[in-house]
Structure 1
Amino acid sequence: MTLPLLNDLLNAETAVWQTLVTGDAAADAALLAPGFLGVYPTGFAGRDDHAGQLAHGPTVAAWRIEDARLLAPVPDLALLAYRAVFRRTGRAEEEMMFVSSLWQRQGGAWINLFSQDTPAGAAVP
């Protein structure tokens, strides 16, 4: 794992989280590929669904990334996996989930192709 690549992807992932804090749907959509696929406990979601969750403003009040791991099988494509600890807007309790995000470098910038969120404490398959 190269530290510069890990830092690049943590910065890209941070940008997505920040859109959830600011409620900026346009910025959120710009970070996701047109064919983005999200896999969540509620089902599948595309880019418009992901950005659409911000239609009524921010959804996250605070967050942090822990235990980040990186897989980079080929140049310009990498998977960032980590534990997210976050608090939704209007709630006092923290939640935790495991996230896997697939990023591709396009024209010098990283764009999110895929993300899967798994709530912590879910049953082991």
Structure 2
Amino acid sequence: MAKTRPHSDTELLNALLECEARVWQALQTGDSAADAALLSADFLGVYPDGFAGREDHVAQISAGASIDRYEITDAKVRAMGQDHGLLSYRALYSRCGKEVEEVMYVSSIWQRSDAGWVNTFSQDTPALGPERETN
């Protein structure tokens, strides 16, 4: 059964934010099965250290959670046809066992199928400026 198609940018933004949060939650809980299910088989990640596929993305949590906490802000969405959307946002997060919060800007392309949304592409850009110590 096909999912209901969002009819507005607000509905698309909310749908993609929910999907993106599930990726972050998988990183936070170390749920590699949930992470893999959210990424397309041909997923491409573009990161400061190079390119990554779905297996690479999932491998970062093979031993457990990789982040303690995260916050998504300043989200923007662009429809890219009927069944694709581009979500861009600012992420504030901390890695497990680290006191320093990191900031990056993320752009993710999501594709809708009968089974739901899957992430086909993501690019992370570290923010310029100092990292913040948490209390």
Q: Which of the five TM-score ranges fits, normalised by the shorter chain? A: over 0.9
Q: Which has the larger radius of gyration?
A: 2
Is 1:85 aligned with 2:92? yes
Off by >2 Å, runs of 4+ in structure 1: none
Kept in 1, the 8 Å contact 2:9–2:79? The answer is no
Are 1:22 and 2:46 an aligned pair?
Answer: no
Q: Which runs of 5+ in 1 are unaligned?
A: none
- Alignment of 1:5 with 2:12, yes or no, is yes
Superposition RMSD in Å: 1.1
CA contact (8 A) 2:9 2:78 kept: no
Distance 1:76 1:88 in 2: 33
Residue among 116, 119, 135 paired with 1:109: 116
Residue 58 of structure 1 is aligned with which of 65, 71, 75? Answer: 65
What is the number of equivalent residue pairs in this alignment?
122
Q: CA deviation at 1:55?
A: 1.2
TM-score scaled to structure 1, two decimals?
0.94
SS class of match (1:94):
strand
Moved more, 37-46 or 104-113: 104-113
> What is the TM-score when the length of structure 2 is the normalising length?
0.88
Q: In structure 2, what is the equivalent of residue 37 of structure 1?
A: 44
Structure 1 residue 108, shift from structure 2 partner: 4.8
Unaligned runs of 5+ in 2: 1-7, 130-135
Cα deviation, residue 3, structure 1: 0.9
